[in-house]
Amino acid sequence: MNEQQRKEMDQIKKSEDSADNLDRLKNLGSDELIGKYFQSTYEPPNLKKAKKRRREEVQVHYDHSIPPEMQQIGKGKKFLIRTYGCQMNEHDTEVMAGLLSEMGYETTNDTKEADVILLNTCAIRENAENKVFGEIGHLKPLKLENPDVIVGICGCMSQEESVVNRILKKHPFIDMIFGTHNIHRLPNLLKEAMFNKEMVVEVWSKEGDIIENLPKVRKGKIKGWVNIMYGCDKFCTYCIVPYTRGKERSRRPEDIIQEVRQLAAQGYKEITLLGQNVNAYGKDLGIEYGLGELMNEIHKIDIPRVRFTTSHPRDFDDRLIEVLAQGGNLLDHIHLPVQSGSSEVLRVMARRYTREDYLNLVAKIKKAIPNATLTTDIIVGFPNETDEQFEETLTLMEEVGFESAYTFIYSPREGTPAAKWEDNIPMEVKKERLQRLNALVNKQSAEAMKNYQGQTVKVLVEGESKNNPDVLAGYTEKSKLVNFVGPKSIIGKIVEVKITNTKTWTLDGELIKEPVEVN
Ligand code: SAH
Ligand code: SF4
Ligand code: F3S
């Protein structure tokens, strides 16, 4: 950057007129130079730092406040948050919506109407990131047309240095980037972005403390997410999550139980306990208290349905199985990601269990909970996975009898160990394996669905079907989507439906009783 450009850039940074700024930025020279300039003003996120697990105890903070000058800032204004990725992100979006609402903002689905647009991003696979970069591209003309709109990038991608650099270089119109550990700072960051008129980047590489009592605007009034822990310490060799979400930190049991009680009192019918590895719950608390104990407490709360996700096979202990076997509101659908059926692949993935360990665990679960439904996650085409090893995944799929599975082609993530390994498996082979696996998943799902023909199931009615407003849709205890005709008045209730037709992924039925609060 020459002297002239640097001077111009300094002026732009000081300038109050953002419309003018953008034009001047555009005229100034290459995006790369602009990126470099802004880059010099912040500390980039660092995956190596994020990898460090520290000994200090995590503090819990119960106070939260919005800076006085921001408390009314959103009056008459609107926000839109696009959420990518997992339930954790969906729930983070509810917290950000809560913070924005406390500042007076209202929600909108229309980008043209929005004064604040946030992309809550996911870094799990390359195609997840590509979607976000596509959306960033779409937002550029909007920002040029309406320079006052604030566009922010948050979520897991913000924790990656390469992503932040790319945004700085290629998309300088973005107003703010903040990380997964900085969500509670949204009001302050928004303030900076509004008044400083320069890109605000705040990404803490290491996790912060637990902040309780942040406001939330939940997406619905029927089902609610409840975070029980943050982060992940497992470091599976392919996975970016331990870097983007920090070390495992469990919320205190009393805070979780209070939140569940509140949701029950507000009439919520279902909660899902959330964590990257919920079975590790409590390990960091220094007390003899795990997920089993927590669920045992929640079992006594008057809320009809309790789920949990995601569990790691390694930490699925006997106490948890014993508690789940009590049934009641603890549902017998267990999502238990296996990733591969080959012990050798599992070893290089650092999953810390073998095929046999997994099968033993499944046998134990089925013995204690005979009706248990199991679903899973599988990665195909892990570096150097042989045909035989892939076949082992297919046989495991059948042996366990998974009723469905999320299946993925391995995607190298920068900064993870596996990304550095040579991989002799061509993409064509990986795609073929995915197809073969998906054919088996579809077959097993369709077979599981057929068993429901003529049966009566309990359905929590969530609303109109996506494809047909005259039809209602809801989920069974085992997470099967059921479509049936009924009055709108039963939305939010648990009703009994007789299954009249089964498809690969959904069931059709007839309402036989309404509304039965059958728990
Ligand atoms: N904590 C959860 C997983 C969260 S990520 C667990 O351990 O079960 C959800 C799923 O994405 C994983 O189960 C895995 O199947 C898949 N996944 C994670 N990293 C991936 C990668 N680099 N490439 C392809 N799939 C990946
Ligand atoms: Fe990723 Fe493994 Fe942690 Fe799951 S348990 S989030 S796959 S590192
Ligand atoms: Fe994606 Fe982050 Fe979730 S990487 S899957 S949004 S924890």
Which ligand sits closest to the CA of 378? 1
Write the class of the CATH domain 334-450: alpha beta
- The CATH architecture of the domain made up of 218-331 is 2-Layer Sandwich (3.30)
Which ligand sits closest to the CA of 121? 3
Residues in Cβ contact with 71 at an 8 Å cutoff, skipping those fewer than 6 apart: 102, 103, 104
Arithmetic mean of pLDDT, 484-501: 96
Distance 54 CA to ligand 3 centre (A): 22
Q: Where are the domains of the chain?
A: 3-202, 218-331, 334-450, 456-511
d(CA 340, CA 351): 10
pLDDT tens-digit map of 405-426: 999 999 999 999 999 999 999 9
Q: Tell me how far CA of residue 376 lies from CA of 16, 30, 327, 358, 397, in angstroms.
A: 52, 47, 21, 12, 9
DSSP assigned state of 183: G
- Residue 377 CA, closest ligand 1 atom number: 15
| Helix/strand/coil percentages in the chain, nearest 5 | 40, 20, 40
- Residue 277 CA, closest ligand 2 atom number: 5
Arithmetic mean of pLDDT, 48-65: 87
pTM score, whole prediction: 0.91
Strand partners, 423: none
Answer whether 400's CB lies under 8 Å from 374's CB: yes
pLDDT tens-digit map of 454-465: 999 999 999 999
410 lines ligand 1 (CB under 6 A): yes
241 lines ligand 3 (CB under 6 A): yes
Q: Would the pLDDT of 376 be above 60?
A: yes
Q: Please tell me the CATH code under which domain 3-202 is placed.
A: 3.40.50.12160
Of 86, 90, 124, 234, the one to substitute when testing ligand 1's pocket (max ligand atoms within 8 A of C-beta) is 124
pLDDT tens-digit map of 387-399: 999 999 999 999 9
Which fold would CATH assign to domain 456-511? OB fold (Dihydrolipoamide Acetyltransferase, E2P) (2.40.50)
375 lines ligand 1 (CB under 6 A): no
Chain-centroid distance of CA 16 in Å reads 37
Residue 136 CB-density burial (10 A; 0-12 exposed, 13-18 middle, 19+ buried): buried
**CATH topology identical between 218-331 and 334-450:** yes
89 lines ligand 3 (CB under 6 A): yes
pLDDT tens-digit map of 327-371: 999 999 999 999 999 999 999 999 999 999 999 999 999 999 999
d(CA 124, CA 110): 27
| pLDDT band for position 17 (cuts 50, 70, 90) | very low
